[in-house]
Amino acid sequence: MTRLTIFHTFIVATLCAAASTAAAQETGDIETLRQRALELVNASRSEAGLSDLTLGPILNDAAQGHAADMIARDFYAHVGPDGGTPFDRFLAAGGSRWGLSGENIATCSGCTLPPDIERLEAFHEGWMQSPGHRDNILSEGFNRFGFGIAG
């Protein structure tokens, strides 16, 4: 059974999109997923009258690291088995302690790797239907975006 874990990170001064799986190591696949995830978030923000987010390499690293860690250590949570939080991961990836962070995660059993664009859109729609996840996507305090995929 294939399991896919997706991780969004939103941080004040840095937000990013990173996507990588064993089946999607080619830069083209990763960049396609990053760009589509960012487009979806920015479309939702635009509808709400908010400014667009931009990609940030530090958040890419934090998001991807957490997605891979959840697969490697077989857990699904915002707080890691060692107690690490989304903000801890942001700092460890090189982020500033003067940031603000939020996190959206999703998992999918039996998904193809890498996920297709329709699956990515379904994850985004699910987050937009969830008040806490929607708040992260539509936060005025965030200006960058992060996204990681592991499976």
Per-residue pLDDT at 129: 97
At residue 6, what are phi and psi to the nearest 5 degrees?
A: -120, 140
Per-residue pLDDT at 26: 45
88 contacts: CB under 8 Å, gap ≥ 6: none
Amino acid type, 74: D
Q: In the beta sheet, which residues pair with residue 148? A: 7
Per-residue pLDDT at 108: 76
Per-residue pLDDT at 9: 53
Per-residue pLDDT at 24: 42
With a pLDDT cut of 90, the percent of the chain lying above it is 27
The residue length of the chain stands at 151
Most confident of 16-25, 42-51, 69-78: 42-51
Q: What is the pLDDT of residues 66-95, one digit of tens each?
A: 888 988 898 888 899 999 998 898 889 888
Report residue 84 CA to chain centroid gap. 16
Average pLDDT over residues 6-23: 35
pLDDT band at residue 49 using 50, 70 and 90 as cut-offs: very high
Per-residue pLDDT at 147: 84
Question: In Å, how far are 28, 78, 85, 105, 126 from 97, measured between CA atoms?
Answer: 32, 19, 13, 22, 30
Q: In which residue are the tokens 């903000």 written? A: 87
Domain ranges of the chain: 34-149
Average pLDDT over residues 42-51: 97
Residue 2 DSSP label: -
Per-residue pLDDT at 27: 46
Q: Which CATH superfamily is domain 34-149 in?
A: CAP (3.40.33.10)
Q: What is the pLDDT of residues 116-136, one digit of tens each?
A: 788 888 889 999 999 999 999
26 contacts: CB under 8 Å, gap ≥ 6: none
